[in-house]
Amino acid sequence: MMAQDFSGGKSGLALLNKDRLFPTDPSVRDIARGLYAEVANLPIVSPHGHTDPRWYALNEDFENPAQLLVAPDHYVFRMLFSQGVPLEKLGVPRVDGGPVETDPRAIWRVFASNYHLFRGTPSRLWLDHTFETLFDLDQPLSAATADVYYDSIDARLKQDDYRPRALFERFNIEVIATTEGALDDLRWHRQIAESGWNGRVVTTYRPDSVVDPDFEGFRDNLAAFGELTGCDTGSWRGYLEAHRRRRAFFRQHGATATDHGHATADTADLSQEAAAKLYAAVSTREATESEASLFRAQMLTEMARMSVEDGMVMQIHPGARRNHSAGIFARFGRDKGFDIPGRTDYVQALKPLLDAVGLEPNLTVIVFTLDETAYARELAPLAGAYPALKLGPAWWFFDSPAGIRRFRELTTETAGFYNTVGFNDDTRAFPSIPARHDVARRVDCAYLADLVAGGQLREDEAVELAHDLAYRLAKNAYRL
């Protein structure tokens, strides 16, 4: 067999094919290459994610390869767990403080020995991109190369130019948004702002812990919410005022957006009297399932109204059936790979909110989905009509080459490109950010190249669109 043409790598080998994700037809591939060359080095706008702001505030060395690349990445440990690797062997802490593996090299060896499990997945693309472009590694990761990888990465992490701020600048990140809960004191954001560093790190207001009656400690959270804001969260009016004050506090720390991770996209628009009565019920006793659902629905509409008032962009991330395994949740807590997609309605679910504020010129609501069947049937037609609605990019399980492509194919004909908001990486895994944006840029350029080759776009239009999808749409949509 003829050897493939690979790019990069000091030994003449590489982990990455230079034409990865481009069309296989040579003439269309040439168009995609040209488009990609226009956008490959654009700054990264990362308007929604979950990196830890303390990294940028303290600017300390990352601990070790396992803590950097395995521990924070639920894509990694859920795949390993699905093949029988206990989370304890990966160093995932237990709620009860029980014993887990603490030797980072041992954790890394387990990861490396099972790296073949990621063949064909986006995680493999992201990790290989990180290994080659950030750490100059060009041998495939395996049990045989585990220690070579560990030692090489560990040595780099001890260098000043591998600290968080240096990597932020190396990655060409123009702005990154983290996500903090309503009760967060934002100390790390304050420390970043006071440090004199030029990197732009903003926060995002995520009020789930004081909006969802099913959230653990909900009523205690409401009491803390009242103490933090000086508002009477025993009353509906005081509770809403507490949100307004916290939103203002978050805006002082750079926030331009809110985020809402409800199980459904259901919204409601009760009278204020009925809403006050519902709040009195859910805030003073265990809510019934119907009360909790209705309260979450009402609060999405209330948050949208507040966004009309203060201009914050509203993100809705519905459809995750969170903590699907009760056993894993009990032993390890949230965000351990057991949030599973579910069917999600949007047309009827969003109607109360859209009837209330959907035509407001100052409102932007970015809707995501884990239910791809809703793209062409519901979401694209909604975003193609309502000025307030925009479509968030392919998210979570579909933040992948095929998922990004499907998103474009299912939404463009009805919503166009300009009712979408570019790309966001939505990750806790900091080193994967350039890789994820690179994948999105390559897939979008491949899609645009097909449209050019098929006579649906002029090439100059495709160049402009490639810039918009990679950079301008996200910056404009999130008011960054």
The span from the CA of 438 to the CA of 99, in Å, is: 38
Residue 4's pLDDT band (cuts 50, 70, 90) = very low
Query: Checking phi first, is residue 271 left (phi over 0); if not, alpha (psi -120 to 50) or beta?
Result: beta
Averaged pLDDT of the chain: 95
Residue 135: what residue type? F
**In the predicted model, what is the mean pLDDT of residues 1-5?**
32
Residue 13's pLDDT band (cuts 50, 70, 90) = low
Q: Residue 177 pairs with which residues in a beta bridge?
A: 202
The span from the CA of 372 to the CA of 406, in Å, is: 8
Same domain, 113 and 186: no
Q: Please give the angle made by the CA atoms of 59, 63 and 65, to the nearest 5 degrees.
A: 120
Q: For 445-473, how does the pLDDT look when each residue is reduced to its tens digit (9 = 90+)? A: 999 999 999 999 999 999 999 999 999 99
Residue with tokens 């720390």: 253
**Predicted local confidence at residue 14, as pLDDT:** 86
Residue 181: CB partners within 8 Å, gap ≥ 6? Answer: 206, 207, 208, 209
pLDDT beyond 80 at 37? yes
Pick the closest to residue 447 from 457, 437, 435, 438 (CA basis).
457
Of the candidates 162, 177, 199, which is a domain's last residue?
162
CATH number at residue 147: 1.10.2020.10
- Percent of the residues in the chain that have a pLDDT greater than 70, as a whole number: 97
pLDDT beyond 80 at 8? no
**Predicted local confidence at residue 121, as pLDDT:** 96
Same domain, 345 and 368: yes
pLDDT beyond 60 at 9? no
Residue 362's pLDDT band (cuts 50, 70, 90) = very high
356 in a domain, yes or no?
yes
Residue 442's pLDDT band (cuts 50, 70, 90) = very high
Residue 11's pLDDT band (cuts 50, 70, 90) = very low
Q: How many domains does the chain have?
A: 2
**Per-residue tokens: 163:** 């600290």
User: At 23, is the secondary structure helix, strand, or coil?
Assistant: coil
Of the candidates 109, 132, 162, which is a domain's last residue?
162
Same domain, 67 and 194: no
12 in a domain, yes or no?
no
pLDDT beyond 90 at 337? no
Q: For 183-234, how does the pLDDT look when each residue is reduced to its tens digit (9 = 90+)? A: 999 999 999 999 999 999 999 999 999 999 999 999 999 999 999 999 999 9
Residue 258 sits at φ, ψ, to 5 deg, of -115, 165
Tell me how crowded residue 143 is: count the other CB atoms within 10 A of its CB.
13
Same domain, 366 and 393: yes
CATH number at residue 328: 3.20.20.140
pLDDT beyond 60 at 10? no
Residue 16 sits at φ, ψ, to 5 deg, of -115, 135
18 in a domain, yes or no?
no
> Which residues constitute the domain of residue 416?
26-62+167-477
Give the burial class of 81: count Cβ atoms within 10 A of its Cβ; 0-12 exposed, 13-18 middle, 19 or more buried: buried
**Predicted local confidence at residue 6, as pLDDT:** 27
Same domain, 337 and 384: yes
Asked whether 363 and 307 are in contact (CB, 8 A), the reply is yes
Dihedral through CA 266, CA 418, CA 205, CA 251, nearest 10?
A: -140
Residue 474: CB partners within 8 Å, gap ≥ 6? Answer: 45, 47, 421, 422, 423, 424, 480
9 in a domain, yes or no?
no
pLDDT beyond 70 at 272? yes
Same domain, 247 and 370: yes
**Per-residue tokens: 253:** 């720390």
**Concatenated DSSP letters for 285-336?**
SPPPHHHHHHHHHHHHHHHHHHHHHH--EEEE---EETT--HHHHHHH-SSS
DSSP state of 21: T
**In the predicted model, what is the mean pLDDT of residues 271-284?**
98
Q: For 144-181, how does the pLDDT look when each residue is reduced to its tens digit (9 = 90+)? A: 999 999 999 999 999 999 999 999 999 999 999 999 99
